[in-house]
Homo-oligomer: A and B are copies of this chain.
Amino acid sequence: MPREWPPPDTKRAPSVVTYPVAVSEAPEFEAVRTAAQRAAAAAPGVRAAGGAAVDAALRTAADLLREKAPELLAANGADVEAGEASGMAAGLLDRLRLTPERLADMATQLEVLADTPEPPTERYVRDLPTGERVFERSIPVGVIGAVFEARPNVTVDVASQVLKARSAAVLRTGAAALGSATALVENVIAPALTAHGIPADAVQLVPGSDHESVKHLMRLRGLVDVLIPRGGAGLIRAVVEESTVPVIETGVGNCHVYVDKDADLDMAVEIALNSKAQRVSVCNSAETLLVHLDVADRFLPKALAALTAAGVTIHGDDTVRAVDPTALAATEEDWAAEYLALDLAVKVVPSLDAATEHIRRYGSGHTEAIVTRSLAASRRFIAGCDSAAIMVNASTRFTDGERFGMGAEIGISTQKLHARGPMGLAELTSTKYLVVGDGQIRETS
């Protein structure tokens, strides 16, 4: 796209620009553009349907998840089999797999979301000095695009959150889960929408499985209102840097657990173990354990033994390897890694400030935990970390939309604008101001 800088129209008086932005008509965007156009055409129908119809559709979808479990598990089984055949890593296979229990969890989350009351849609802001009343009203965003990894449950999570927020969705799942996602849309979401008078086109799955479709989706500025990438760090960064559609950055989780010199060391072992090993394939699991020097010789033997017993591979600095000679030597890459596997980088630090400095340098702004009995240490740690969530004496695994009371989350924002941490209904909604007067004009500049 060659372009003069600044574009020629800035030099004109009057300046002229056409809104809304023209959507690219490049033929290679056609399949994705068609999906987005269907979603855009359905969006007013979602908005008009009203909250009660959307909630009813979510409950019907929950029922269908249970009723259609055999079909859904069959479609997912084929995806898993193909994944295994292609040598997919264990963590990724875990994300891909549906089980009756996971379907039941998904159904429960839909019901929780349906039961979640809508936040107030209008708030009074103030009266202007000239007498007009100002209100702020929530409005649907319109068309929300999401690009996510091969996790079938995310198809339902994202679609349900978008619908609850009265928008339409264009979903692009990881290729390995396309069969599962298609089964979920066709057997669960579309019929649930139709049953309650909402256009089934409101949830679109981008067809095909090549990576080009992501590039096309992120160029549909003017048709897609916001794009939420989830999944691999490289994918997220590429979308964030290249998309012309506004993006909410989510979910790369290089999370840390810091064990302070004033920690309850038994608690610290439990929190480290839970943060790392309770579930490895999720962004809120810990990837690095930082240990204050003063407690290293009491904490490390116990902690490393427990972690190793849980199957965790340790990547340690020299102090750590002196305690556990079987630990691998940690490199710069380990401090920066989101393993998504039973690997943990472990480092001994001389002070709390050294820990927060390490986190600022290598962290991804997701979740950091401190274990300490000292109020002053907790305050200093909170002030030193600007991540989306800071845990004091709790596992990093608690950064989670369902735990935070939002129903299933659409993602965990790690950026500083618009939303931070788990994103649910409120974070998927926009606003407009209303100014209601009786003829006011402005007298002064």
Contact = CB atoms under 8 A, between A and B. Distances in A.
Interface of A: 3, 5-10, 13-21, 89, 91-92, 105, 125-126, 128-130, 132, 134, 137, 139, 141-142, 211-212, 214-215, 221, 225-226, 231-235, 237-238, 240-241, 244, 246, 248-249, 252, 254, 264, 267, 270-271, 273-274, 278-279, 332-333, 336-341, 343, 360-365, 378, 382, 385-395, 397-399, 403-405, 415-418, 420-421, 430-442, 445
B417 A226 contact: yes
A341 B390 contact: no
Nearest to A240: B244
Contacts of A225: 416
Given A13-B92, A248-B417, A378-B436, 19 more contacts: A5-B212, A7-B237, A7-B238, A13-B91, A14-B341, A14-B343, A15-B338, A15-B339, A19-B363, A20-B360, A139-B386, A226-B416, A246-B416, A274-B441, A390-B435, A392-B434, A394-B435, A420-B432, A421-B432
A362 B394 contact: no
A20 B364 CA distance: 7
Given A237-B17, A237-B21, A390-B434, A267 B439 contact: yes
A382 B137 CA distance: 10
Copies of this polypeptide in the complex: 2
A404 B434 contact: no
Contacts of A267: 439
A337 B252 contact: no
B246 A417 contact: yes
Given A15-B340, A416-B246, A435-B389, A235 B6 contact: yes
A141 B16 CA distance: 33
B19 A336 contact: yes
Contact of A398 (B18, B403, B440): B440
Given A6-B234, A235-B6, A420 B430 contact: yes
A407 to B, nearest CB: 14
A9 B337 CA distance: 11
7 contacts: A7-B237, A132-B391, A389-B435, A390-B435, A392-B435, A398-B435, A404-B433
Nearest to A8: B234
A348 B13 CA distance: 25
B17 A415 contact: no
Contact of A362 (B18, B252, B270): B18
Given A17-B252, A340-B15, A438 B393 contact: yes
A278 B105 CA distance: 59
A150 to B, nearest CB: 12
A329 to B, nearest CB: 15
Contacts of A16: 233, 333, 336-338
Nearest to A128: B403
Given A264-B439, A336-B18, A441-B271, A233 B417 contact: no
A442 to B, nearest CB: 4
Contacts of A226: 416-417
A177 to B, nearest CB: 15
Contact of A14 (B105, B137, B337, B437): B337
Contacts of A212: 5
Nearest to A361: B20
Nearest to A94: B445
Given A274-B441, A435-B394, A10 B233 contact: yes
B14 A392 contact: no
Contacts of A252: 17, 19
Contacts of A5: 211-212, 214-215, 238
B436 A392 contact: yes
A212 B6 CA distance: 9
Contact of A142 (B125, B128, B416, B433): B416
Contacts of A125: 404
A229 to B, nearest CB: 11
Contacts of A337: 14-17
A132 B399 CA distance: 12
B15 A233 contact: yes
